[in-house]
Amino acid sequence: MKTFPMFLQMAGRCVVIAGGGEQAAQKARLMLKTEARLRLVAYDLEPELAGLVASGRAEQVREATVEAFAGAALVFIATGDAARDTALHAMAKAAGCLVNVVDRPDLCDAVTPSIVDRDPVVVAIGTEGNAPVLGRQIKTQIEQLLEPNLGGLAALAGRMRSTVAGAVPQAQRRALWDWVFAGPVRAAHARGGEREAARMLKDAIARGQAPGETGQGHIALVGAGPGARDLLTLRAVQRLQQADVIFYDRLVDPAVMELARRDAQRIYVGKTLGAHEWPQERIDAVIIAAARQGQRVVRLKSGDPSLFGRAEEELRAAHAAGIPVEIIPGVTAASAAAASLGRAMTERGATDHLILATATARDGVAAPDIAAMARPGATLALYMAVRQLPRIRADLLAAGWPETTEVEAVASASSAQEVQCRCILGDMDRALAGLANPAIIFVRFAKDAVAVPQTPHLQVVSA
């Protein structure tokens, strides 16, 4: 990020616009949305700018000098003449000003964003001068997302903030505002029911909490998907935005965390192979403890929480503690891997069974019998199987499946580090030797294939 977005306080501050033509008028229209004082540096002004001076909304300085720029919070240079703009830029910099030269990104300290104005709600979109047309297209999309009178609701909330602070316990305030902006209050205001919206908000303040809130904490087991953050569900993003504390795994992509509420506490509870710093019992204990404090807890897991994510243990712990808990499904790695390969996991007439299995087990428990799961017309999707490849290959061959059985693998599906491999069962050890977790191994058993168990060869020797 080469430019840092920041909203400047403009009330009573001076903004200088150098130029008297249409380009300068465009910048003046933008600044008229603020409470800044305008100073126009130009000998001649086009009619619109002249009208601003006549009305007292702007002052005119006819001669451009360093002093003409003195004290300005922001300077726009818009004469339309490249040489003149360069000279004015030097004057403004000599006066110590922050400068924007129209259509000259090389001379800009500040870049004008595309703006969605729902005062006091303001959305600014910037492309660092690289793609202004894209910025305007994004502006159009956001304009369609935000109701025209949204600013009025924000203003109502601003007027009621001190009342909420005095009447609603701090632990309940975020839930109240979530209810206001994502529930019936906003819906009523959007359809023109300003009085109805205000009444509902005041009723909730009188109760000391949003309708349906109990002050009790809540746990959401949220699926982060396989990696790419745009594969998260809308509900998953919503829970991340609402969270007070987020407990996240090693495999959760850092880009996913960018979608979370900025001031949410973030606690890493990942497990590294060979170094189990966070045993499951400890994870259960800390998420329950946070929820008991009235916090909104997100347990963020890669993939889908209900598939090999130990969600059942966390569900049991929450139920035993009487804490409300929910599962937010995520895109599981097998789905993402199949999509990356450009293949479906099932096919009518060819693949009528889909088996999702793990190749690992808890310490002291026998490894899953992969060969027992195989059957003609099935796709076997194996999680956590990379270290078990020699055993899987040996077991399937011993069960009589042909060496030509199709195998595909995807590591780090949907991420920039994604790796794809295709081979046959007989070459699986060699072909997938360099594969690293997280990975999905697909074994596709043909519909017409029949496993013929290998039996020891008996040689009869005559006496």
**Residue 422 is assigned to a structural domain of this protein:** yes
Residues 438 and 353 in one domain: yes
Instruction: Check if 301 is active-site.
Output: no
Look at residue 279 in the predicted model and tell me its pLDDT: 86
Distance CA 223, CA 300 (A): 6
**Residue 56 is assigned to a structural domain of this protein:** yes
* Confidence tier at 399 by pLDDT (50, 70, 90): very high
Residues 186 and 249 in one domain: no
**Residue 344 is assigned to a structural domain of this protein:** yes
Please give the average per-residue pLDDT across 128-142, as a whole number. 90
For residue 416, the domain's CATH number is 3.30.950.10
Look at residue 453 in the predicted model and tell me its pLDDT: 61
The answer to whether 223 and 329 have CB atoms below 8 angstroms apart is yes
Does residue 294 register a pLDDT over 90? Answer: no
Look at residue 217 in the predicted model and tell me its pLDDT: 85
Instruction: Give the mean pLDDT of the chain.
Output: 90
Total structural domains in the chain?
4
Please give the average per-residue pLDDT across 219-230, as a whole number. 92
CA distances from 340 to 344, 384, 419, 421 (A): 10, 18, 10, 11
Residues 407 and 339 in one domain: yes
Look at residue 325 in the predicted model and tell me its pLDDT: 93
Look at residue 457 in the predicted model and tell me its pLDDT: 41
* Confidence tier at 461 by pLDDT (50, 70, 90): very low
Does residue 274 register a pLDDT over 80? Answer: no
Residues 164 and 258 in one domain: no
**Residue 456 is assigned to a structural domain of this protein:** no
Look at residue 460 in the predicted model and tell me its pLDDT: 40
Does residue 463 register a pLDDT over 60? Answer: no
Residues 237 and 320 in one domain: yes
**Residue 31 is assigned to a structural domain of this protein:** yes
For residue 227, the domain's CATH number is 3.40.1010.10
* Confidence tier at 70 by pLDDT (50, 70, 90): very high
Residue scoring higher pLDDT (9 or 360):
9
Look at residue 402 in the predicted model and tell me its pLDDT: 93
Q: What percent of the chain has pLDDT over 70?
A: 95
Distance CA 298, CA 42 (A): 58
Catalytic option among 109, 117, 178, 271:
271
Q: Dihedral sign, CA of 262, 263, 265, 267? A: positive
| Structure tokens, 328 | 């937010």
Please give the average per-residue pLDDT across 416-445, as a whole number. 92
Instruction: Check if 429 is active-site.
Output: no
Most confident residue range from 51-55, 224-228, 432-436? 51-55
Look at residue 450 in the predicted model and tell me its pLDDT: 66
For residue 36, the domain's CATH number is 3.40.50.720
Residues 54 and 87 in one domain: yes
**Residue 450 is assigned to a structural domain of this protein:** no
Residues 440 and 354 in one domain: yes
Of 88-92, 280-284, 452-456, the range with the lowest mean pLDDT is: 452-456
Please give the average per-residue pLDDT across 419-445, as a whole number. 92
Residues 339 and 326 in one domain: no
Look at residue 301 in the predicted model and tell me its pLDDT: 93
**Residue 130 is assigned to a structural domain of this protein:** no
Domain boundary among the residues 306, 331, 356 is at: 331
Residues 392 and 415 in one domain: yes
Look at residue 277 in the predicted model and tell me its pLDDT: 66
Domain boundary among the residues 56, 87, 112 is at: 112
pTM, two decimal places: 0.68
Catalytic option among 27, 85, 244, 249:
249
**Residue 404 is assigned to a structural domain of this protein:** yes
Does residue 99 register a pLDDT over 80? Answer: yes
* Confidence tier at 458 by pLDDT (50, 70, 90): very low
Look at residue 271 in the predicted model and tell me its pLDDT: 62
Please give the average per-residue pLDDT across 246-269, as a whole number. 90
Distance CA 210, CA 234 (A): 23
Look at residue 3 in the predicted model and tell me its pLDDT: 86
Residues 367 and 416 in one domain: yes
Query: Residue 223 belongs to what domain range?
Result: 218-331
Does residue 270 register a pLDDT over 70? Answer: yes
Does residue 213 register a pLDDT over 90? Answer: no
Residues 326 and 341 in one domain: no
Residues 106 and 43 in one domain: yes
Domain boundary among the residues 288, 308, 331 is at: 331
| H, E, C per residue of the chain | CCCCCCCCCCCCCEEEEECCCHHHHHHHHHHCCCCCEEEEECCCCCHHHHHHHHHCCEEEECCCCHHHHCCCCEEEECCCCHHHHHHHHHHHHHCCCCEEECCCHHHCCCCCCEEEEECCEEEEECCCCCCHHHHHHHHHHHHHHCCCCHHHHHHHHHHHHHHHHHHCCHHHHHHHHHHHHHCHHHHHHHCCCHHHHHHHHHHHHHHCCCCCCCCCCEEEEEECECCCHHHCCHHHHHHHHHCCEEEECCCCCHHHHCCCCCCCEEEECCCECCECCCCHHHHHHHHHHHHHCCCEEEEEECECCCCCCCHHHHHHHHHHHCCCEEEECCCCHHHHHHHHHCCCCCECCCECEEEEEECCCCCCCCCCCHHHHCCCCEEEEEECCHHHHHHHHHHHHHCCCCCCCEEEEEECCCCCCCEEEEEEHHHHHHHCCCCCCCEEEEEEECCCCCCCCCCCCCCCCCC
